[in-house]
Each structure stands twice: as structure tokens, then as C-alpha cells.
């Protein structure tokens, strides 16, 4: 094997280091999601660059590898692509499958780079240290701006205003958490004293910021990660005297006790941590996800969890987040990556994803790398922390989080020796990696062009500029994006514009497209059902309105439209059963008028079945709308006899 020149080694190391360092800075406010597409593009650029570099040097690379460890990653990508066949929305499924393929490509490219000593782990450590410093500066900038605006961070939900370039404080918190192991590794490798002190202060500052951000998943992952590391230290230092063996584990555990105690003593300041709404929300999401998996054990298709979720009802969100039952808040992920993968790709995909982590941890405890920067104990703690975060959030969905995990996984497995040494067709593999990178860049380009239109589309929708809404929504819809990041079909916005302009046939056309894209979105069901009923096509319209009502019985628009449809076909009993679920609102003249008409029609239908006294009371009500109005105040979810008893 020929020796690879130092120039190629240094170039790839510095490239990867800089890429990691600038990752938090890569975002663009022009998009709906300012960082997802740009950071995925950066990952694609890494795979493309690494693959081309490997392709050029393929004659100088070794030909024998222990590639068995790469099988779970290849299988995960394969099951994601297979799941496209099961998907209701295949456009979204293809996007997610290409993204998972990119993650796999990161693993494969990095595996060959590290196995051939083209890159070294210390440059990844340096890159993550710089990324941490950049992220901390961005957070401090947010804090400073909020301070200048006299915003008290400990009050209400003000802490949610801190997100740096990560879109949400929870994503920022988990990213900061994932940088801590690399800071510790940097300190352990004996840098100059001033650098060591600086890194120690950065770790302390990161922990303080984690407390400030009050993200429970990140804090729990930090505690469990430290405890895990303390246990590993205790077990691995078997040759030391007991006092020396206990020193670091005890110090770490005492630190954790102090950390937890501080939160408890200052619990009035940590109001976000003590809330229960997010626990209830996750419980409801997980309940629906479990029902989804039981019905579709082979998976609902990549990216389609968000579509299928409402099928299992959203009414259990009403007590703690009524916006969900109104269709104003939607969920794209179950806040549990393991559950997310198993719901979308089925049993095989879920088991494969779990095996990845198990195999990674086993490998970390078996290998003995010669690289001093490669601390298996700290990296094992990192993997455990990542798994804890993945149980309550969605790091798999975010490029910057996944990039760290898959880089580490590749280097760990490149240091392992599983199974027989095999000769692999490296040139073919590198061509495949280039193909994956180019396909991702193409898909991302189309998605980004759609995102630019989505911004304009939302503005047109908000300002009720219907002609602009038609124009921008049609431009936003392409072969790589047909649904926005709130699970709303883009064609729904087009239908709303035409409906508002009074063009019912065109509105129906686009609502039908939206129904094919997301058949369980209550606004889509409601709007399409209304279009059919306006054409007197109750045979098609009523089932859609009933389905929306079944998904969310307290959905206010759905209540009025379904009750109106029942009224129009003479089903007064059903009309009252539905409209009675609408809570009385004296300011809502339309509801009062509508409910009044339904009550009158239903009472007229019922009075012939009643005795003379009851008929007399009904006749009095029918002649005095004010009496019906007074009765409506207490008629919530009551039977019709409430009015004449």
C-alpha cells in the first residue's frame, strides 16, 4: 500500500474541523426552518468532498476492512427506503429516506477516512470545542439582547426566547450537552494550563446555561451521563487503591447531588422544569404512537408519523393544549426517536436503530484505541446521554445533532475488528457516496426553493391576499415538497384562497389534492366536506365532516359545519348532538342564530311525541327566541329535553 501524503491528511482534517466549528453559524432566516436545509447541505458537502478525496486516493488505500459493523447503518437506510412503499405521502417519505441515507453516507465516508488514517479524532475534538464556544457566544448574545429589552428570563416563558440559531431552546440545550464530552476530552489531553482553565470555565458556563434553559431532557441526560461515567470509572480503575479509585466517581456524584439540590432549592426560579403540560403532551403522543404501531407493525412510511397521528384522535390534548384540538398546533414527531423510527419503519427499523446504539456501546468497551484523544469511557457517556435525549426529543431529525453521533459511530467502528477481514469494492462504494451526496443536494435545493415561497405564502394568507396566496402556494408545491413543516398540505392554502374568492369548484379541486396528501388533517377534511355540501353532495361531504369530528369532537369549525350539514338533510337530532358541544359564547351571533334554528327544528320534530304540558312549553319556546337563548347558556352537551323539562 502506498503512503498517503501529509497534505491530503491535513486538508481533510482541517476541513472537517472547520465544518464542525461553523455548523452553529449555518442558518438562513429566509427559510421556514432556518437551519435544517442549510446544515443538511453542509453534511452533503462533507460526504461529497470526502468521497471524491477517497476516490482519488483509492489505489493508495487498504483493501481489507471489517465492514460487518456498517451493516446496521446500511439496513436502516434500506428499511427507510422500503417504508416509502407504505407511505400515504410518498413525497415526504422520499425526503426523509434521502436524509437517513445521508446519515449512513456520513458513517461510511468517515469510516474509510479514519480506517486509512486520513483523518484523526483530535481534529473532531477541536472542531466540537470551537462549535461549543461559538454556540455559547450566540446564547450570550441572545441573553444580552433580552436583558437590554428588560426581559426577565426567569419569568413565564421568557426562557423560550433563547434559541441562538437552533430554532428552539430544547434543541440548543441538547446540542450544548453533546459538546461537553469533547471539552472534557480536550482537557484530559494535557493542553497548556491556560487552555485547560479556559475549557473548564466553558464547561461550567455550559452547565449554567443548561440550568437557565431548563430543558428537562438535556438535564436528565447530563445527570445520567455523569452517573454512568462515574460507574465506569469505578469499575475500570481496578488496580488503584480504593481511595484513589473512588476519588473521581465520588466527586462526580457529589457534583450531581449539588446540581440536583440547587434545582430543588431554587425551584421557584425553575418554573419551566416543574410544569406538567409537556409530560401529558408526550404521554398523549406516545399513546397515539403505540396505537399506530399496533395497526401498522410494518410502519406507516418515512415522514408519515405526522400524517397518521390524528387518525387516533386528538381530544385527549384538550385539557392541556386546546390548540391541538382546533388544528392550530400540529406535531411532526412523537418526542421519542426510538418510537418515531419504529412507527415509521416498523419492527425491523426500530430494532435496527436500537442495535446501532447497543453495538456502539459494546464496541466502545471492547476496543483499545492508541489515539490518546479517543477516550472510550467519555464517548460511552456521550452515547448514553444521546440515548436519553432521544427518549424525550428528536435529535435524529436535526442535522447538527445527528452529525456528531454518526461521526463518533464511524470512528468507533473503524477502530473495531468484527468478523472476518473482507475485500470491499472501495471504488464502487465511493461512487455510491458521491451519488447520495448529489441526490441530497438536489432534493435540498428543491426543498429550499419551496421554503422561500412558503414564507411569502404565509404572509399572503395572513393578510388575506388571496391572489398572492394562489400564486405563491402553487410555486411552493413541487416534486420534493407538498406539505409544510406544520403537516399542512401546500395545496390546502391554494384551496383556501379559491374558496375565499368564491370559486368553489377550484377550491374543491385543490382540497382534494390536499386530502390525498394528508387525509387526517381536520382543516382539510372540514374544508373539502364543506365544498361537497355546498354542491349538495352530502354523500361525499358528510363522511368527511364526520371524520373530522371523530378526530376532534371539540373542533369549533368542524362542529358548526357538521351540525349545519345534518340540519340541511333533516337530521335534527344529530345536528343538536353536535352543536351542543359548542360552548356558549354570547358574542358569537352566528352560533346563537345557528343553534336557535337547530333547536327549533328539533323541538318541532319531537313535540308530537310528548304530552300536552311538554308541548305547551315547547310552543312557548318556539315563539320566544330570547327564551331559547337563555336556555342555550346551560345547554352544553345536554339532551334536547333540557329545553322543555
Mean pLDDT of the chain: 89
pTM surpassing 0.85?
yes
Give me the mean pLDDT over the 88-116 stretch: 96
Given 406, 424, 442, the domain boundary residue is 424
The SS3 call for residue 60 is helix
Please say whether the beta carbons of 464 and 123 come within 8 A: no
% of the chain beyond a pLDDT of 90: 62
Give me the mean pLDDT over the 306-323 stretch: 90
**The pLDDT of residue 513 is above 90:** yes
Q: Which pLDDT band, with edges at 50, 70 and 90, does 4 fall under?
A: very low
**The pLDDT of residue 151 is above 90:** no
Q: Is 637 left (phi over 0), alpha (psi -120 to 50) or beta?
A: left
CA-wise closest residue to 480 among 149, 56, 99:
99
pLDDT digits over 276-292, tens only?
677 888 999 999 999 99
CA-wise closest residue to 425 among 109, 68, 113, 58:
58
Structure confidence at residue 190 (pLDDT): 80
Cα–Cα distance measured from residue 102 to residue 41, given in angstroms and rounded to the nearest whole number: 10
Structure confidence at residue 6 (pLDDT): 41
Structure confidence at residue 594 (pLDDT): 86
Cα–Cα distance measured from residue 206 to residue 337, given in angstroms and rounded to the nearest whole number: 25
Given 424, 442, 457, the domain boundary residue is 424
pLDDT digits over 77-86, tens only?
999 999 999 9
pLDDT digits over 374-415, tens only?
889 999 999 999 999 999 999 999 999 999 999 999 999 998
**C-alpha cell, 110:** 468517515
**The pLDDT of residue 620 is above 80:** yes
**The pLDDT of residue 256 is above 80:** no
Q: Based on the structure, what is the number of domains in the chain? A: 2
Q: Is 2 exposed, middle or buried (0-12, 13-18, 19+ CB in 10 A)?
A: exposed
**The pLDDT of residue 423 is above 50:** yes
Range of the domain at 413: 6-424
Q: Is 464 exposed, middle or buried (0-12, 13-18, 19+ CB in 10 A)?
A: exposed
The SS3 call for residue 227 is helix
Cα–Cα distance measured from residue 193 to residue 220, given in angstroms and rounded to the nearest whole number: 31
Give me the mean pLDDT over the 166-185 stretch: 95
Backbone φ and ψ for 422, nearest 5 degrees, come out as -125, 145
Please say whether the beta carbons of 436 and 73 come within 8 A: no
Residue 510 lies in a domain: no
Instruction: For residue 607, give the DSSP letter.
Output: G
**C-alpha cell, 202:** 466553558
**The pLDDT of residue 261 is above 70:** no
Structure confidence at residue 5 (pLDDT): 45
**The pLDDT of residue 10 is above 70:** no
Pairwise pLDDT comparison (636 vs 518), residue with the higher score: 518
Beta-strand relationship, 64-65 and 422-423? antiparallel
Q: Which pLDDT band, with edges at 50, 70 and 90, does 470 fall under?
A: very high
pLDDT digits over 335-376, tens only?
999 999 999 999 999 999 999 999 999 999 888 777 778 889
Residue-by-residue DSSP string for 31-57: SSSTTHHHHHHHHHHHHHHHHHHHHHT
The SS3 call for residue 161 is helix
Q: Which pLDDT band, with edges at 50, 70 and 90, does 526 fall under?
A: very high
Give me the mean pLDDT over the 519-524 stretch: 96
Return the residue matching grid coordinates 382534494: 512
Instruction: For residue 584, give the DSSP letter.
Output: P
For the CA atoms of the chain, what is the radius of gyration? Answer: 29
Please say whether the beta carbons of 602 and 618 come within 8 A: no
Please say whether the beta carbons of 367 and 141 come within 8 A: no
Given 377, 398, 424, the domain boundary residue is 424
CA-wise closest residue to 134 among 206, 54, 193, 221:
206
Residue 561 lies in a domain: no
**The pLDDT of residue 178 is above 50:** yes
% of the chain beyond a pLDDT of 70: 91
Dihedral (Cα; 198, 203, 204, 209), 10-degree rounding: 120
What residues form DSSP beta bridges with 481? 478
Q: Which pLDDT band, with edges at 50, 70 and 90, does 8 fall under?
A: very low
Pairwise pLDDT comparison (288 vs 268), residue with the higher score: 288
Amino acid at each position: 500500500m502506498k503512503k498517503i501524503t501529509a497534505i491530503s491528511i491535513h486538508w481533510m482534517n482541517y476541513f472537517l474541523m472547520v465544518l464542525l466549528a461553523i455548523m452553529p453559524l449555518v442558518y438562513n432566516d429566509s427559510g421556514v426552518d432556518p437551519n435544517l436545509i442549510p446544515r443538511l447541505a453542509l453534511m452533503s458537502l462533507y460526504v461529497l468532498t470526502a468521497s471524491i478525496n477517497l476516490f482519488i486516493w483509492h489505489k493508495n488505500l487498504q483493501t481489507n476492512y471489517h465492514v460487518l459493523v456498517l451493516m446496521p447503518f446500511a439496513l436502516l437506510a434500506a428499511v427507510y427506503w422500503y417504508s416509502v412503499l407504505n407511505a400515504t405521502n410518498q413525497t415526504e417519505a422520499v425526503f426523509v429516506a434521502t436524509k437517513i441515507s445521508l446519515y449512513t453516507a456520513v458513517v461510511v465516508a468517515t469510516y474509510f477516512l479514519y480506517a486509512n488514517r486520513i483523518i484523526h479524532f483530535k481534529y473532531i475534538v477541536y472542531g466540537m470545542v470551537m462549535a461549543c464556544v461559538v454556540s455559547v457566544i450566540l446564547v450570550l448574545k441572545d441573553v444580552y439582547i433580552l436583558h437590554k429589552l428588560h426581559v426577565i428570563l426567569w419569568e413565564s416563558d421568557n426562557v423560550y426566547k433563547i434559541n441562538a440559531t437552533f430554532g428552539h431552546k430544547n434543541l440548543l440545550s441538547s446540542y450544548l450537552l453533546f459538546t461537553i464530552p469533547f471539552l472534557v476530552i480536550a482537557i484530559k489531553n494535557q493542553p497548556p494550563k491556560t487552555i485547560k482553565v479556559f475549557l473548564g470555565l466553558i464547561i461550567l458556563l455550559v452547565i449554567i446555561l443548561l440550568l437557565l434553559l431548563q430543558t428537562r431532557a438535556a438535564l436528565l441526560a447530563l445527570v445520567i451521563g455523569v452517573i454512568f461515567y462515574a460507574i465506569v470509572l469505578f469499575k475500570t480503575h481496578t488496580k488503584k487503591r480504593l481511595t484513589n479509585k473512588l476519588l473521581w466517581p465520588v466527586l462526580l456524584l457529589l457534583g450531581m447531588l449539588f446540581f440536583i439540590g440547587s434545582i430543588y432549592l431554587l425551584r421557584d426560579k425553575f418554573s419551566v422544569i416543574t410544569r406538567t403540560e409537556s409530560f401529558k403532551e408526550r404521554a398523549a403522543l406516545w399513546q397515539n404512537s403505540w396505537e399506530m404501531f399496533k395497526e401498522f407493525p410494518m410502519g406507516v412510511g418515512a415522514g408519515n408519523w405526522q400524517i397518521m397521528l390524528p387518525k387516533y384522535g386528538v381530544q385527549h390534548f384538550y385539557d392541556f393544549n386546546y390548540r391541538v384540538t382546533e388544528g392550530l398546533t400540529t406535531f411532526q414527531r412523537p418526542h421519542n426517536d426510538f418510537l418515531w423510527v419504529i412507527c415509521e419503519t416498523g419492527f425491523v427499523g426500530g430494532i435496527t436503530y436500537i442495535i446501532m446504539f447497543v453495538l456502539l456501546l459494546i464496541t466502545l468497551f471492547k476496543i483499545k484505541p492508541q489515539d490518546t484523544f479517543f477516550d472510550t469511557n467519555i464517548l460511552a457517556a456521550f452515547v448514553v446521554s444521546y440515548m436519553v435525549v432521544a427518549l424525550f426529543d428528536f435529535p435524529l431529525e436535526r442535522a447538527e445533532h445527528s452529525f456528531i453521533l454518526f461521526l463518533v459511530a464511524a470512528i468507533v467502528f473503524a477502530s473495531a475488528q468484527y468478523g472476518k477481514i473482507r475485500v470491499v469494492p472501495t471504488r464502487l462504494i465511493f461512487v455510491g457516496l458521491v451519488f447520495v451526496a448529489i441526490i441530497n443536494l438536489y432534493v435540498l435545493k428543491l426543498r429550499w426553493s419551496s421554503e422561500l415561497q412558503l414564507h411569502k405564502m404565509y404572509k399572503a394568507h395572513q393578510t388575506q391576499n388571496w391572489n398572492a396566496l394562489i400564486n405563491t402556494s402553487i410555486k411552493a408545491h413541487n416534486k420534493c415538497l407538498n406539505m409544510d413543516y406544520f403537516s399542512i398540505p401546500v395545496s390546502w392554502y391554494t384551496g383556501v384562497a379559491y374558496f375565499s374568492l368564491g370559486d368553489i369548484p377550484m377550491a374543491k379541486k385543490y382540497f382534494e389534492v390536499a386530502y390525498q396528501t394528508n387525509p387526517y388533517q381536520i382543516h382539510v377534511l372540514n374544508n373539502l366536506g364543506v365544498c361537497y355540501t355546498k354542491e349538495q353532495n352530502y354523500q361525499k361531504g358528510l363522511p368527511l365532516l364526520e371524520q373530522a369530528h371523530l378526530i376532534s369532537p371539540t373542533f369549533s369549525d368542524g362542529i358548526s359545519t357538521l351540525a349545519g350539514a345534518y340540519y340541511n338533510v333533516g337530521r335534527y337530532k344529530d345536528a343538536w348532538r353536535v352543536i351542543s358541544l359548542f360552548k356558549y359564547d354570547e358574542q358569537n351571533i352566528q352560533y346563537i342564530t345557528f343553534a336557535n334554528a337547530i333547536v327549533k327544528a328539533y323541538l318541532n320534530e319531537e313535540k308530537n311525541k310528548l304530552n300536552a304540558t311538554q308541548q305547551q312549553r315547547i310552543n312557548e319556546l318556539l315563539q320566544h327566541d330570547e327564551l331559547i337563548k337563555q336556555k342555550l347558556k346551560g345547554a352544553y352537551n345536554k339532551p334536547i329535553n333540557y329545553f322543555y323539562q
